[in-house]
């Protein structure tokens, strides 16, 4: 089973890129972030023509997450528990039945948190704390689960071309990185790092200052696996070539193959 995550940065603007990725890579489940549209505007018909079911938690103009699956999506849950006043569309999860039983998949668009010293950074940290509590609750179910998404966290210095350039950024703050380590300490596995240890494996290149041309990248898109999923992990691939397309997303997909 192939499960991928991708911050598509506007599903309307990147529809051709999305359909091309679905045709070429053929993920069984794709976690999308920053779709930037309401549920009714999502291209459900276009992805259905390629054999995908869609579950959407959208928002007009920004944010928004979705799950695309070649198998039926069951027990769909929209929104991260823990704060009923939070109206930003950043979390969706569902269950997919597979030969080994079932797998729960979540699409996560974690807050950016910039600039530091504002309510945006406080919101990021509070959101991460809520996510950790939810992960803990799902881990207690002892099921195969994958939390895929744009975490807006650079976990380690090897995950940035120039770590010093990010010292004043919310993505690389000690508090953000500590929460990410706390997710791993719950018993989750960073899928890419379970398979590959080297630096230079980036998933995001800014549109500014020739970041792509200079390979001035960072790794902020992650697939975190519960033990029952991690035990069946076979390979992970970063689909870097999509960043070279015309008018691309500033993120590229990450896909994991699992024996599920």
The catalytic residue positions are 109, 150, 251
Whether 91 and 79 have beta carbons less than 8 Å apart is answered as yes
Q: Which residue pairs, CB below 8 angstroms and at least 24 apart, start in 128-134?
A: 128/176, 128/179, 128/180, 129/179, 130/80, 130/81, 130/82, 130/83, 131/80, 131/91, 131/183, 132/179, 132/182, 132/183, 132/186, 133/81, 133/82, 134/80, 134/81, 134/82
pLDDT of 101 higher than 90? no
Binding residues: 7, 34, 150, 152, 250-251
The whole-angstrom separation of Cα 199 and Cα 260 is 28
Average pLDDT (143-149) is: 97
- Residue 86 scores a pLDDT above 90: yes
At residue 2 the predicted structure's pLDDT band, cuts being 50, 70 and 90, is: very high
Tally of CB atoms within 10 A around 144: 25
> pLDDT band at residue 100, thresholds of 50, 70 and 90?
confident
Residue 99 has pLDDT above 90, yes or no: no
Q: Is the pLDDT of residue 209 over 90?
A: no
Q: Is the dihedral of CA 10, 13, 17, 22 positive or negative?
A: positive
Q: Detail the residues annotated as belonging to a binding site for Mg(2+).
A: 7, 34, 150, 152, 250-251
**Above 90 in pLDDT, residue 186?**
yes
| pLDDT at residue number 13 | 97
Is the pLDDT at 260 greater than 90? The verdict is: no
For the domain covering 2-258, report its CATH number: 3.60.10.10
Q: Where are the domains of the chain?
A: 2-258
Mean of pLDDT over the chain: 97
């Amino acid at each position: 089973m192939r499960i991928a995550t991708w911050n598509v940065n506007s599903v309307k603007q990147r529809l051709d890129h999305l359909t091309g990725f679905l045709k070429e890579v053929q993920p069984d489940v794709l976690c999308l972030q920053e779709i930037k549209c309401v549920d009714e505007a999502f291209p459900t018909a276009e992805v259905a023509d390629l054999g995908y079911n869609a579950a959407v938690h959208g928002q007009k103009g920004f944010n928004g997450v979705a799950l695309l699956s070649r198998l039926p999506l069951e027990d769909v849950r929209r929104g991260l528990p823990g704060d009923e006043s939070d109206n930003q569309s950043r979390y969706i999860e569902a269950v997919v039945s597979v030969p080994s039983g079932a797998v729960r998949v979540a699409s996560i668009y974690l807050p950016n948190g910039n600039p530091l010293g504002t309510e945006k950074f406080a919101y990021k940290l509070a959101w991460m704390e809520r996510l950790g509590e939810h992960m803990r609750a799902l881990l207690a179910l002892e099921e195969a689960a994958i939390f895929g998404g744009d975490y807006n966290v650079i976990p380690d210095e090897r995950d940035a071309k120039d770590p010093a350039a990010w010292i004043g950024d919310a993505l690389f703050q000690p508090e953000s990185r500590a929460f990410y380590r706390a997710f791993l300490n719950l018993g989750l596995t960073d899928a890419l790092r379970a398979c590959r240890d080297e630096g230079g494996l980036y998933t995001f290149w800014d549109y500014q200052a020739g970041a792509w041309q200079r390979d001035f990248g960072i790794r902020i898109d992650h697939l975190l696996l519960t033990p029952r999923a991690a035990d069946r992990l076979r390979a992970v691939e970063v689909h870097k070539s999509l960043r070279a397309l015309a008018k691309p997303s500033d993120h590229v997909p990450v896909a994991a193959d699992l024996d599920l």
